[in-house]
């Protein structure tokens, strides 16, 4: 066994752990912003999950009168990579059994996963366009004035 190699590996692990903690703290703050603004700025929206006991980089929210896949497509056209449903059903168009078990909407949902290095201005840009996109998808689906 090489002592210098073992020491280098231990130091690399410490640096990676410290970097992970800092990245998680930053992403947790961004997700807090998403949770607050979606709930306040998009009518008939529900932010899913515990605000504290959660992964630091993932947030799911649901919208009444919206098709989740149509919303994902509209957001993708604007350059935002999001998904619909829960992660465990990401390859299926079936409603999420996880969301159903949680007692929340199983349709019209979006899952946002922030990568390391996500910036506040990117999140703000997403949040600035989201209400209008939701409204357009609702209108296209005939769900206006409800």
The Cα–Cα gap between 129 and 123 comes to 10
Best CA proximity match to 124, nearest among 39, 48, 37: 37
From its phi and psi, is residue 118 left (phi > 0), alpha (psi between -120 and 50) or beta? beta
Both tokens of 130, joined, read 């989201």
Q: Which of 11, 22, 36, 88 is catalytic?
A: 88
Active site annotation includes 88:
yes
Active site residues: 88
């Amino acid at each position: 066994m090489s002592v210098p190699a073992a020491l280098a590996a231990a130091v690399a692990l410490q640096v990676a752990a410290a970097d992970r903690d800092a990245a998680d703290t930053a992403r947790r703050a961004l997700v807090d912003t998403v949770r607050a603004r979606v709930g306040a700025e998009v009518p008939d929206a529900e932010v899913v999950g515990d605000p504290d006991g959660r992964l630091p980089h993932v947030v799911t929210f649901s919208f009444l009168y919206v098709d989740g896949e149509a919303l994902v497509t509209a957001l993708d056209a604007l350059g935002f990579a999001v998904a619909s449903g829960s992660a465990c059903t990401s390859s299926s168009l079936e409603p999420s059994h996880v969301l159903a078990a949680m007692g929340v909407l199983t349709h019209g949902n979006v899952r946002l996963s922030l990568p390391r290095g996500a910036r506040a201005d990117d999140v703000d840009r997403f949040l600035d366009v989201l209400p209008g996109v939701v409204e357009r998808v609702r209108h296209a689906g005939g769900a206006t004035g409800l």
